[in-house]
Amino acid sequence: DDLSEQVEALKAHRSGKGGRISAGKCFDSKSETVEEKELKRRMMGEALLKAGRLDPGEKVRIFGLESTSGKKLNGQIVKITSFNGEADRYVVALKSGKKVRVRPSNLRILADETIENQFDSIQAGFLEKKSLTSKKIEKKTPDSDALPFVTKSDGDATLRIPEVQTTMKKSSWVTPELLQRLGKNKTLAKGMTDPELTRAIQEFSSNPKGAMAKYAHNKKVMDF
């Protein structure tokens, strides 16, 4: 689509003649596909970054830094605190509280909060941890639309198949809530069927630092 109107609006913002533009207002057409909406979101996000029009508190992800110290920041989700027009740099706050200056070209607006949450969970190695709240969630939310979750029965032990019991234990972290979230997010659902992405997820769960260094320049993995 022609983005000339948005470009002109951004110019007006830079000169201080306009209010803040939301990237979400640029793709209201119900006929657009998810891919088309995502493309527009990224295009507008990049335009907003270059124009220095992101507000303090907005979250972005660092990528593409090549210096020794910069590589350690790739993949981190940070908050914008201000924009230095003279240096053409954003001042961002790391999770540690430290503030650094980063070029707009090395920042990417998060596609949505779900991806951010999933990325944080992967970094924490959630695939290796059992859910401590899964039982409480199952009792409080007996949703009829939830996918069936088979648990170990207290019935006759002779009716139990060892292989099935072992598989169930290994997948005990797959809660109905997680399956519902994956099903609603087409980007994540599609990524879970990609061998390269699933392999990367496993590496992030077992060795987050090593995986971050390995995939820092892999656009496909970092975008996911």
pLDDT beyond 70 at 200 = yes
d(CA 47, CA 213): 28
The predicted pLDDT at position 19 comes to 47
The yes-or-no verdict on residue 22 having pLDDT over 50 is no
Full-model pTM? 0.33
Please provide the distance, in angstroms rounded to a whole number, between the alpha carbons at the two ends of the chain: 24
Of the candidates 81, 101, 102, 64, the residue with the CA atom closest to the CA atom of residue 223: 64
Q: Rounded to the nearest 10 degrees, how much is the dihedral formed by the CA atoms of 13, 16, 20, 24?
A: 0
The CATH number of the structural domain formed by 55-110 is 2.30.30.30
Segments making up each domain of the chain, as ranges: 1-53, 55-110, 114-223
Query: Within 13 Å, how many C-alpha atoms sit on residue 108's CB side?
Result: 20
Structure tokens at 190: 């599609």
Q: Mean of the pLDDT values across residues 156-160?
A: 58
Q: How confident is the model at residue 93 (pLDDT cuts 50, 70, 90)?
A: very high
Lowest mean pLDDT of 77-86, 166-175, 193-202, name the range: 166-175
Rounded to 5°, the CA angle 219-201-133 comes to: 135
Q: Closest by alpha carbon to 138, among 152, 155, 151, 153? A: 151
Which helix (DSSP H) or strand (DSSP E) does residue 186 occupy? helix 186-191
Q: What is the mean pLDDT of residues 172-191?
A: 67
Per the listing, tokens 């991806």 go with 115
**pLDDT at position 68 over 60:** yes
Q: What is the mean pLDDT of the chain?
A: 68
- Who has greater pLDDT, 85 or 189? 85
Of the listed ranges 97-101, 178-182, 211-215, the least confidently predicted one is 178-182
